[in-house]
Structure 1
Amino acid sequence: MARGKPPGPGPAAPEGEGPGHGQLLGPAQRRDWLRLIRTENVGPRTFRALINQYGGAAGALEALPSLARRGGRLMPPHTPTIAEAEAEMAAHARIGARLVALGERDYPSALAALDDAPPLLSVRGRGEVLRRPMVGIVGARNASAAGRTFTARLARDLSAAGWVVVSGLARGIDAAAHEASLEGGTVGVFAGGLTRPYPPENLALIEKVAQDGAVVSEMPIAWEPRARDFPRRNRLVSGMALGVVVVEAAERSGSLITARLALEQGREVFAVPGSPLDPRAGGTNALIKRGATLVTQAADVLEVLAPVAGRPPEDIAGPEEPPVPPEPAQPGDDARARIIGLLGPVPTFIDDLVRLSGCSAAEVQIVLLELDLAGRLDRPGTGRVALK
């Protein structure tokens, strides 16, 4: 399923503050970034908008209460205290993990190109594997023996060709992919925090992945995974990879969610064909009908991904939201009313809000941040927003 040419470059890090490529955040900056991304109603896109608007996390944290109040919220969103942020950083250190910031050397470059890239990743393991090109392998938890055997062969061959295999540490296909690529390098993505590995029966495998490769998460370190956290995990699996191979998947499965996310992120999608009599092949066969690249051997994947691996990461993903000046511009009541009046439940491009409201990009961004922090805004991606 060939990806279309992306509409524009994605940023390596928010403007105004943050490390350049290979540089490190200072301890106080990392603590402020952690406090900001752990703040209620602040996701990756909101984080980036706040950093760009206020020139850094410290300024954004100071502005949060007034922004939320103007957005219609009586109480400011909950923000972790300095002590709480430092406690989470200390908890990482106790298990041999660290927080890697967007723009730092060990932050996966393909993931950094996305407009919803996590500002901070919890990482335990070898940073070297996170700097190499990755391919995702996902599939059914109740995988067949044939599916697991093929997955192992595919993962070994891709690993031998220099690719890091990334998957979600689940039973079945995920586990087979990780096990077969331990020697060459593999990355496992948690749905919860790093101290909440899942599923329990994969604890030994997860430990091997952490020792020989790396395990990562965007969630707080002690976060217990919930059902809605697994699609978020899938977004990281596909976001780190240049392409995703689906080995076995029913017609309604989490693996197909990963394939959809991969397409939205501009990644290549591959599928392994299966018997029409096996429901575990229903989803993969449907992907092939819709244009996914059919895979019977690693060479099918390598042929497509080899040219992509040579591109700079900013040529892989979509554009950032419109940039705004670092100096905050406070909109008047009339401007605020015009901007809110243009919003509704249907996602609208931010560029259209600027054009139709007659307001500056900075004024529009301020109003969007106000609504966001009040819990009234949805950011579905690609520069679009909607009222909840």
Structure 2
Amino acid sequence: MSRSGISLSESQRIAWLRLIRSDNVGPATFRELINHCGSAEKALDMLPELAKRGGAMKRIRVASIADAEREMEVAARHDGRFVAIGEPDYPPALRAIDGAPPLLAMCGSGETATRPTLGIVGARNASVAGAKFAAMVAGAAAGAGYTVASGLARGIDAAAHHASLKHGTLAALAGGLDRIYPPENADLYRRICTEGGVAISEMPYGWEPRARDFPRRNRLIAGSALAVVVVEAAMRSGSLITARLANEAGRLVLAVPGSPLDPRAQGSNGLIKQGAMIVCSPEDVLEALAPLSNLELPFSGDAGEEPEPEGEAPVEPAEDDRLRVAEALGPSPCEIDDLIRFTGVNAATVQLILLELDLAGRLARHPGGRISLT
């Protein structure tokens, strides 16, 4: 995969960091703001007014230049940096998912981040056999030139990282890159970052990981990979979330079968029943990866800041249009195209109204680009 791309200036990087750290700005909202405003700097200026128009009850918090500079200084002290979507070190496969993170905190080798990648996930309370098999698959894939991605957790994750360490492995974190979890893997994290591997996170430096942050970490693993192998996953486990996210992103899902009597195999066996490719040897994985390695994934993100729109800026929506869109929305998610057809409001106006509602904290975004009112 190519490592070509744009490069942000220092002022642009600070503006991007400020924008993504501001209240109610997630990856999808970030992209809409860049498309609407033309640049992160202009988006920052417009945030308060857009949120007010969306019905915000109080002034939205906009991250300051000092906040961004402080986080960049912390990143530098930890040998980290911020990589924007479209820049050469950004994982190419991750760019292709819906709502890709506009900025990644990264520590380690950018080259490792951009190679074709295999995700390996599984139980934290892994069996000896499960950890051994995960290591076999990781070692074979790494030796064949693939980056092995996992979540730095105990059990299967740690086994996959250790087995692929000498060739380059990718660790996705749920918290900031200075908040290693679990703490017992701090030395493994250090080796990954200094021995040719790479660590990534979309969370701020200093962020302590919470339970709700791990699905975002799982999304980074699934999005960075061409395929994900699940080893020993219990029902309702984080590994099954990773498998679901990989499937939603159009990635190949593979699973290792286990004993029906072992609770750690119920999730992976269930994936096989649902159509996941069965894995009985490392060769099975390499054969499945071979046709995917040169696959050009569709890029759904922005390679850089949009050029300033030509002509007049979009007109502020009329109040009756805002009312019509808000009344049409409810707690049940719907497709944006359905909303446009139902309300009769033109698409550009609907998108702007949704942006206002999002910044006001009144819009919820769901998988598949669906939306609802909070």
- Aligned partner of 2:362 in structure 1 is 376
Q: TM-score of the superposition, structure 2-length normalised?
A: 0.94
Given the alignment, which residue of 37, 40, 48 partners 1:65?
48
Give the deviation of 1:355 after TM superposition: 2.4
- Aligned partner of 1:341 in structure 2 is 327
Given the alignment, which residue of 259, 271, 280 partners 1:287?
271
> Are 1:312 and 2:292 counterparts?
no
> Are 1:355 and 2:341 counterparts?
yes
Aligned mates of 1:362, 1:277 — CA distance in 2: 55
Given the alignment, which residue of 267, 272, 283 partners 1:299?
283
Give the deviation of 1:21 after TM superposition: 4.6
Given the alignment, which residue of 27, 30, 33 partners 1:44?
27
Aligned mates of 2:27, 2:314 — CA distance in 1: 20
Aligned mates of 1:73, 1:188 — CA distance in 2: 37
Gaps of at least 5 residues in structure 1 are 1-19
Give the deviation of 1:200 after TM superposition: 0.7
Cα pair 1:64 1:76 within 8 Å, conserved: no
Give the deviation of 1:252 after TM superposition: 2.0
- Aligned partner of 1:137 in structure 2 is 120
- Aligned partner of 1:367 in structure 2 is 353
Helix, strand or coil: the match of 1:355?
helix
Q: Which amino acid aligns with 1:34?
A: L
Q: Which runs of 4+ in 1 moved over 6 A?
A: none
Q: Which amino acid aligns with 1:110?
A: A
Aligned mates of 1:289, 1:36 — CA distance in 2: 43
> Are 1:253 and 2:237 counterparts?
yes
C-alpha distance after superposition, 1:155-191 (max 9, x if no partner): 1001111110000000000000000000111000110
Gaps of at least 5 residues in structure 2 are none
Aligned mates of 1:117, 1:105 — CA distance in 2: 15
Give the deviation of 1:307 after TM superposition: 1.5
- Aligned partner of 2:220 in structure 1 is 236
- Aligned partner of 2:204 in structure 1 is 220
Aligned mates of 1:366, 1:76 — CA distance in 2: 19
Aligned mates of 1:51, 1:22 — CA distance in 2: 18
Q: TM-score of the superposition, structure 1-length normalised?
A: 0.91
Cα RMSD, aligned residues only: 1.7
Aligned mates of 1:374, 1:345 — CA distance in 2: 16
Question: Aligned pair count?
Answer: 364
Between the aligned residues of both structures, percent identity stands at 58
- Aligned partner of 1:88 in structure 2 is 71
Q: Which amino acid aligns with 1:328?
A: P
Helix, strand or coil: the match of 1:84?
helix
Aligned mates of 1:331, 1:176 — CA distance in 2: 54
Aligned mates of 1:54, 1:144 — CA distance in 2: 52
Give the deviation of 1:318 after TM superposition: 10
